Structure 1
C-alpha cells in the first residue's frame, strides 16, 4: 500500500502482494437490507469516437438522469414489508477492478448494497482499469464509472491514450474523470509529466462537462492552480454544483478550505478512524457539511478495526460514523448529506433496492 495510513491513499503498483490480502467476508454480519426495486440498468453504450482535448465533444448527462433533491433521496421510504426509514450511503471513490477483488467482486458489491451503500464511484487509473471500470459499472445499477490516468502512470501516457480517454469520458455511462492528479510523494513519474497529463485530463473533463476525482498526495498546494483554472473553465460560481472532489484528502483544514472556495468537495476516507489522524477529524468538524463526501478507496486504507485487511465499500459507514462523531451530529444526518452531495456532483439517481431500515 502506498497511501499513508493517516492521510491520502494511492493505488499500489505491486500486484504480487494481492494474494496476501485477507479476502474473507467481514466478521460482523451486514445490517438488514430493505428490499425495494432495482432500476433497470443501462447498458454500457457504444464507445465514443476518439476526440482530442479542445475539440468539440457531445455533452452527456449521467446514465441515471438528473440528480434528485436531498428530500427525494432521503424521503422516509418503505419497503414491501412496510418498514420505514431507509438509510443510504455513497462511497465516492473505490477500485473494485483491483486484483484484490477478482475472486469475490460480486459478493463485495452485494455486501455493500446490503449495508445500505446505494452508490459507489469506481475510478479507473490506467488503460486496462478504465475498461474494467466500464464493464463492472454496466452490470450494477449502484456502481458508477469514472475513467482517468493516475499520476503514477503519467510518464507512459501518450496522445493516443488521451484521445481514447476523451472518447470514454464522453460516454453517457461515465459520470466523472478520475482518478487524476499529482503525486509528489513518490517518483513513479516526473513532476512535469504529471502536470502535463493532469492538464490534458482537465481539458477533457471541461470539454465533456463532467466532474473530476483528484489525487493530490504531497501535492495539495501544487494542484490548486490547475484545478482553479479548470473550475473557472466550467463556469463554477458559489451556489452552483461543485466541479470536482479532492479524493481522500490528506492536506490540512486550511488547504481544504481553499479547494472548497474554488468549487471542490473534500472526500474523507476511513483513515479518519486512526488514532493518529487528528487532522482528518479537524477537517470533518471544520468544513461545512455540504462540502464533504466520504469514501473507502477500496481495497486500500481500511478502518482502524480492520487494519491489515482488504477494505471494501461496505466500510464507508465507518468513515461516516467518524465524521458524525467529529461534528457532534447524527450518523443519519451525515449519511444523508454526504450522499446528497455525491448524487448532486455526479448527476445520478440511486437504485431503490438498497438501504438500511
Structure 2
C-alpha cells in the first residue's frame, strides 16, 4: 500500500516517529508521500529532510516529499517563500507542489490572498514541471471553494498538462469528474469511514479505481474505529477496506490498484516492476 498524503513532520510524531514508520511497514505500507507544508513557509523543507533521513533504512517505507504553502498560511508567503518553494521543487525527493489551494471553512488567510498564493504556486510548479496537490475546503453547507478551485484549475492549470491530486476529497461527483478531465487523481482519506460521510461515499462509488488514491492525512482524520486518535500511516489499510466496500471489490485490489496509480502518475517505478 501507499499512503499518498501524510504529515510525517508533525511535532505529534517527534517522540515515536521511528516506531510509527515501523508500524506502517509492518502493516504493508511501502511508500509514503510526506507533505511539505510544515507549520508555514519557514518549515516547508522538513518533509524533504525526513525523506533524506530515512532513505535506504530497512524496515520503514520509502518516503517521498512535496513542498508548498497551505492556504491557511497564504498571507505569510512572500518572495522568500516562493524562492524557497522553487528550490525545493528541484530536489529529487520532491514529487509535487502542495498542498495548495483554497480553504473557505477557516479563512485563516483572506480569500483574495489565498487565490493569489494558489496562482503563484501553480506558476512555480508549472515552471518546474511538477504536479500539484490540492487542498479544498468550502464554507459550511456550500460548494463555493470547490467551484472556485475547479474554475481556477480549468483556466490556469489545464495548459500545463501536469495534472495533480485532489487530496482528501470531500466534493461532489461533478467536481471529481471535472478534475479527472484535467488529469487529476482523486484521493480518499479516513473521513470516508465516518458515519455522516455518505455524500463522500456516493462520489467515491463513481470514481474509477484507476483514477484513485488512498491516504491518511495523518495525524488528522483517523478512520473508524480509531476516530479521535492521532492518525498514522498504518491505518491507510482501513481506508482501503472502506473504499473496497463501497466499490464492491477486495481491499487488496484497492491497495494494489492505488499503488499502481501512484507509481504510474509520478513515474517512481517503471510499470513493469509493479507486482501484485
Same fold, TM-score > 0.5, yes or no: yes
The number of residues matched between the two structures is: 258
User: 5+ residue gaps in structure 2?
Assistant: 56-61, 139-144
- Residue matched to 1:306: 226
Contact 1:124/1:146, CA 8 A, preserved across alignment: yes
Does the alignment pair 1:223 with 2:137? no
- Residue matched to 1:232: 158
Query: 1:188 and 1:298, CA in 2 relative to 1: closer, same or farther beyond 3 A?
Result: same
| From 161, 165, 169, the counterpart of 1:249 | 169
Contact 1:93/1:297, CA 8 A, preserved across alignment: yes
Deviations 1:179-234 (A, max 9, x none): 11110111210001000000111111111111111101011111112222444232
Report matched runs for 1:1-357 at 5 Å.
89-125=1-37, 126-141=40-55, 142-218=62-138, 219-235=145-161, 243-349=163-269
- Say which structure, 1 or 2, has more relative contact order (CA 8 Å, 6+ apart): 1
Contact 2:192/2:200, CA 8 A, preserved across alignment: yes
Contact 2:99/2:135, CA 8 A, preserved across alignment: yes
Contact 1:97/1:129, CA 8 A, preserved across alignment: no
Taking the aligned partners of 2:213 and 2:177, their CA distance within structure 1 comes to 14
Taking the aligned partners of 1:233 and 1:158, their CA distance within structure 2 comes to 25
RMSD, aligned CA: 1.7
More helix by share: 2
Secondary structure, in 3 states, of the residue corresponding to 1:153?
helix
User: 5+ residue gaps in structure 1?
Assistant: 1-88, 237-242
Taking the aligned partners of 1:348 and 1:130, their CA distance within structure 2 comes to 22
Contact 2:150/2:175, CA 8 A, preserved across alignment: no
Deviations 1:308-353 (A, max 9, x none): 2100000001111001000111111111111111112222139xxx
Contact 2:161/2:183, CA 8 A, preserved across alignment: no
Taking the aligned partners of 1:304 and 1:232, their CA distance within structure 2 comes to 36
Please report how far the alpha carbon of residue 260 of structure 1 lies from its aligned counterpart in structure 2 after TM superposition: 1.0
Using structure 2 for the length normalisation, give the TM-score.
Answer: 0.89
Deviations 1:258-301 (A, max 9, x none): 11111111110011111111122112211111111010000000
Contact 1:211/1:345, CA 8 A, preserved across alignment: no
Taking the aligned partners of 2:43 and 2:209, their CA distance within structure 1 comes to 32
Q: Is the radius of gyration larger for structure 1 or structure 2?
A: 1
Taking the aligned partners of 1:106 and 1:145, their CA distance within structure 2 comes to 17
Secondary structure, in 3 states, of the residue corresponding to 1:137?
helix
Contact 1:123/1:145, CA 8 A, preserved across alignment: yes
